[in-house]
């Protein structure tokens, strides 16, 4: 079975006020390291973030436990410095953010101005094992049309600066300000991929290869394809199933590498992603097979139909179907946030709800003592820099 691993960026809030709090470096320095379960914590671009890096897994159940363990570890570290770690893709409350102390992050701040200053967003990154660059490029070309559907299923960021944006994933809108973000064109082969990558680097707009922020990319330091389009999910179960869908997409592509990828230009895919960011699972998405607007449930059903052989082989089909059906029925994190706000019109109610949902099913045993450490500027398996 093809290995897959995840990284979750979590928001750090003050345990009392529930407002974003610049605790990242303190939490990582004091409590960062590798748990007995293999989870690792790291700083991110902003002090109001902490990243949980999960070890590679081979099963859906293993992935769920790794995600729960990582969230528990992040929350234990945050609690030690007066905070909490919560799976929110943007801060519901209006708040200033602060850069983590790192020469590279200082260069990003200077180079990208307000885009970097306002970039307090938390994504969900899934790494899937690949055997070669050629396999990875073929998979990138095949899976790109389904990435907006994944964004919709993950949508968990309707609020920005204290107000409802009207988007299910406003994180994707904020993230799209980066010049190298968004969907890619069809590369055709590894030569096409590397030529495009080099053309981006030759502009000297991105500071380094790690700043090629496309929705999916080949990892620079290990043999994985990395899908980066999703919001960090409110619930661990949502996250684990999303990771399973991404692995199944890559495996499906690998089983038929000569299949002609859908010839959708990136400019059109950007519109598809905009619609997914706007509507989430509550309205229509663009159906990859027709290019027309269709109900989210119909598009998600088509994705499951495409992935059924692989999910069946992996023994995950029933679990994935049930969880996708639950997201479609009960809503993603975006609906949960709006419901929490609707009762009393208070932003802190959103954060309190999200803390409970982030850590549902997590036991104290999952947050074991740490050993070792890594701070901003270093790299670890499955954790390319921001």
Please say if the pLDDT value at position 374 is more than 50: no
Counting the structural domains of the chain, the total is 1
Alpha helix (H) residue ranges in the chain? 24-31, 60-79, 103-117, 133-143, 147-154, 170-175, 190-202, 236-255, 266-279, 296-313, 317-330, 333-344, 347-358
Helix or strand (DSSP H, E) at 7: strand 4-14
pTM assigned to the model: 0.93
Please say if the pLDDT value at position 200 is more than 90: yes
Both ends of the chain: CA-CA distance in Å?
Answer: 29
In a domain, 385, yes or no: no
> What does the DSSP assignment read for 161-173?
TTEE-S-SBHHHH
Q: Which two tokens stand for residue 23?
A: 């605790």
Task: Give the pLDDT band (50/70/90) at residue 386.
Answer: low
Least confident piece of the model among 91-95, 158-162, 246-250, 364-368: 364-368
Domain hosting 220: range is: 4-366
Distances (CA, A) of 221 to 84, 228, 260, 273, 382: 31, 16, 28, 27, 8
CA dist 364 and 206 (Å) reads 41
In a domain, 373, yes or no: no
Q: What is the pLDDT of residues 40-97, one digit of tens each?
A: 999 999 999 999 999 999 999 999 999 999 999 999 999 999 999 999 999 999 999 9
Q: Which two tokens stand for residue 346?
A: 């208070």
Indicate which CATH number applies to the domain containing 186.
3.30.590.20
In a domain, 384, yes or no: no
In a domain, 38, yes or no: yes
CA dist 280 and 269 (Å) reads 15
In a domain, 377, yes or no: no
C-alpha angle 146-147-151 in degrees, rounded to nearest 5: 125
Task: Give the pLDDT band (50/70/90) at residue 38.
Answer: confident
**Contact indicator for 231, 314 with CB cutoff of 8 Å:** no
In a domain, 371, yes or no: no
In a domain, 220, yes or no: yes
In a domain, 174, yes or no: yes
Please say if the pLDDT value at position 185 is more than 90: yes
Please say if the pLDDT value at position 294 is more than 50: yes
Please say if the pLDDT value at position 376 is more than 70: no
pLDDT at 287: 98
Q: What is the pLDDT of residues 133-145, one digit of tens each?
A: 999 999 999 999 9
Between these two residues, 363 and 365, which has the higher pLDDT value? 363
């Amino acid at each position: 079975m093809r290995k897959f691993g995840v990284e979750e960026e979590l928001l750090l809030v003050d345990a009392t006020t529930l407002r974003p709090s610049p605790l990242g470096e303190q939490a990582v320095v004091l409590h960062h390291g590798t748990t007995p379960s293999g989870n690792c914590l790291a700083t991110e671009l902003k002090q109001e973030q902490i990243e949980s890096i999960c070890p590679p897994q081979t099963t859906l159940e293993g992935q769920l436990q790794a995600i729960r363990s990582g969230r528990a570890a992040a929350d234990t570290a945050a609690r030690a410095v007066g905070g909490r770690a919560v799976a929110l893709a943007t801060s519901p409350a209006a708040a200033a953010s602060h850069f983590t102390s790192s020469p590279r992050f200082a260069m990003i701040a200077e180079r990208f101005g307000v885009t970097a200053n306002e970039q307090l967003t938390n994504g969900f990154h899934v790494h899937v094992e690949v055997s070669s660059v050629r396999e990875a490029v073929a998979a990138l070309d095949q899976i790109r049309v389904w990435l907006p559907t994944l964004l919709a299923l993950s949508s968990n960021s309707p609020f920005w600066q204290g107000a409802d944006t009207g988007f299910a994933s406003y994180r994707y809108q904020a993230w799209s300000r980066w010049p190298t973000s968004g969907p890619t064109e069809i590369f055709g082969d590894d030569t096409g991929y590397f030529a495009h990558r080099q053309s981006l680097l030759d502009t000297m707009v991105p500071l380094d290869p790690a700043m090629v922020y496309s929705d999916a990319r080949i990892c620079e330091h290990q043999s994985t394809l990395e899908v980066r389009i999703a919001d960090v999910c409110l619930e661990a179960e949502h996250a684990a199933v999303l990771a399973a869908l991404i692995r199944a997409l890559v495996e499906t592509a690998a089983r038929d590498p000569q299949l002609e990828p859908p010839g959708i230009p990136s400019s059109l895919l950007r519109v598809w992603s905009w619609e997914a960011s706007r509507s989430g699972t509550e309205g229509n998405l663009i159906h990859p097979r027709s290019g027309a607007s269709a109900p989210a449930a119909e598009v998600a059903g088509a994705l499951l139909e495409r992935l059924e052989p692989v999910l069946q082989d992996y023994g995950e089909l029933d679990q994935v179907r049930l969880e996708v059906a639950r997201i479609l029925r009960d809503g993603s994190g975006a609906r949960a946030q709006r419901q929490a706000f609707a009762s009393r019109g208070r932003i802190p109610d959103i954060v309190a709800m999200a803390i409970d949902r982030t850590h549902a099913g997590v036991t104290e045993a999952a947050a074991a003592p740490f050993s070792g450490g890594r701070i901003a500027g270093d790299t670890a398996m499955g954790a390319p820099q921001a």
